Amino acid sequence: MLRDRNPLEQSEFLKYLARHSQSAEDDRLPPLADLSRELGISIASLREQLEVARAMGLVEVRPKTGIRRLEYRFEPAVVKSVVYAMSIEPHTLEQFSDLRNHVETAYWFQAVSQLNSEDHAELLDLVRRAFQKLDGSPVQIPHMEHRQLHLLLYSRLNNPFVTGIMETYWDIYEAVGLSVYNDLNYLRRVWTYHQRIVEAVCAGDLNGGYQLLVEHIHLITERTKPSISQKFE
């Protein structure tokens, strides 16, 4: 049996990015011709490796600014993988949603215990803005507040993998139309849970907040699932 390729093996260009990620003051990279000579590979091969790095969200390529190194994020590679999986089997979304739910509950205590007073104030403001939208005329769906609230709760972890999974969930959530769900009673129930969760966190009642989070997660099963079979064709 042939051995699988070493998972730690990287392309010449990815190795170059890794070597220069901490030492370089400028995030701009040399032109392709210069990189080709430095790395000892053809421009054609370099272009292929550059495209992989771009798809992973590691670099940005623009006509006027050239190639620019980006801060590492897990989300770009994950979202492409999940979208591909959903194009094969749309109900993969349910599996990924379940993963996200487990990530949120598993990291709850570690995450919210690190939030500070400014975070608490921002969480309360997100809840206030959400209810303003729900009580407005016309009613607005507080989707961005929903996304920001969940991401803010876990922002102090400084864990790009947790953040990447959660960001991917919200990207897909928007793409399949869940962000335009317009059952006002459901939305009010969701944001009542959010309000109680935030109040518990601000009061230091992390156990109470955890129980509310678990109840809030179960609300998703009460929703009418949108048709997603055509979303990624």
Q: Which domains does the chain have, with CATH numbers?
A: 12-69 (1.10.10.10), 75-222 (1.20.120.530)
What is the arithmetic mean of pLDDT over 106-112? 98
Q: Which residue has the higher pLDDT, 88 or 22?
A: 88
CA distance 162 to 158: 9
Tell me the three state secondary structure of residue 21: coil
Residue 213 — pLDDT band, cuts 50, 70, 90? very high
Strands 59-62 and 66-69, bridge-based pairing: antiparallel
State phi, psi for 117 to the nearest 5 degrees: -65, -35
Contact (CB, 8 A) for 175 and 159 = no
The answer, yes or no, to whether residue 50 has pLDDT greater than 70, is yes
What mean pLDDT is reported for the chain? 87
pLDDT tens digits, residue range 144-195? 999 999 999 999 999 999 999 999 999 998 877 665 556 788 889 999 999 9
Contact (CB, 8 A) for 50 and 39 = no
Residue 18 — pLDDT band, cuts 50, 70, 90? confident
The answer, yes or no, to whether residue 58 has pLDDT greater than 50, is yes
Token pair for 117: 């007073």
Tell me the three state secondary structure of residue 69: strand
